[in-house]
C-alpha cells in the first residue's frame, strides 16, 4: 500500500532537513522568525495573512500550521473566514485576468 503524500506527521520531520543543508535550514528559520516577529503588523495580522496565502497556494501543511497559528495569535473564526474570502477572491481574480489574456491571444492568430 502506498503512503499518503500529505500527512500531518510529516511536519514532525521538518527539522530533519537541517542534517542535509544546515546553513540553508538555519537561514530559513531566521527569515521565518523575522517575518513573523511583531512589527508594523501584529502577530495576529501576519498569521491571518499566512493563513490566507496557505489556502491560495493550497499547501495543506501551511494551512495546518497557520490555522493553529492564527487561532493562537487571537484570530477569531470570523476573521479567519474573512481572510479565506480575501484569498479566494484574489485567486479567482487572478484566474479571470489570465483568462482575459488567453482570450486576447486568440485575436493574435
pLDDT tens-digit map of 23-65: 999 999 999 999 999 999 999 999 999 999 999 999 999 999 9
State the pLDDT at residue 11: 81
Residue 2 inside a domain? The answer is: no
**4 domain residue, yes or no:** no
- Band of pLDDT at residue 1, cut at 50, 70 and 90: low
Full domain range(s) for residue 54 = 41-109
Q: Are residues 99 and 69 located together in one domain of the fold?
A: yes
Residues 18 and 61 in one domain: no
CA neighbor of 51 nearest in space, from 77, 84, 15: 84
Looking at the structure, tell me whether residues 47 and 89 fall in a common domain. Answer: yes
**Residues 75 and 102 placed together within one structural domain of the fold:** yes
For residue 105, give the H/E element and its range. Answer: helix 77-108
Examine the domain organization and report whether 45 and 22 are in the same domain: no
More confident residue, 18 or 6: 18
Task: For the chain, give the percent of residues with pLDDT over 90.
Answer: 78
- Tens of pLDDT, residue by residue over 63-73, are 999 999 999 99
**Does residue 56 sit in the same domain as residue 21?**
no
Amino acid at each position: 500500500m502506498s503512503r499518503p503524500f500529505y500527512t500531518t506527521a510529516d511536519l514532525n520531520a521538518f527539522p530533519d532537513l537541517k542534517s542535509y543543508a544546515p546553513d540553508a535550514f538555519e537561514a530559513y528559520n531566521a527569515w521565518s522568525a523575522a517575518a513573523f516577529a511583531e512589527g508594523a503588523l501584529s502577530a495576529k495580522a501576519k498569521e491571518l495573512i499566512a493563513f490566507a496565502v496557505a489556502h491560495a497556494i493550497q499547501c495543506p501543511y501551511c494551512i495546518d500550521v497557520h490555522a493553529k497559528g492564527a487561532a493562537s495569535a487571537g484570530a477569531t473564526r470570523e476573521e479567519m473566514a474573512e481572510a479565506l474570502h480575501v484569498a479566494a477572491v484574489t485567486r479567482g481574480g487572478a484566474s479571470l485576468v489570465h483568462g482575459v489574456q488567453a482570450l486576447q491571444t486568440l485575436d493574435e492568430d
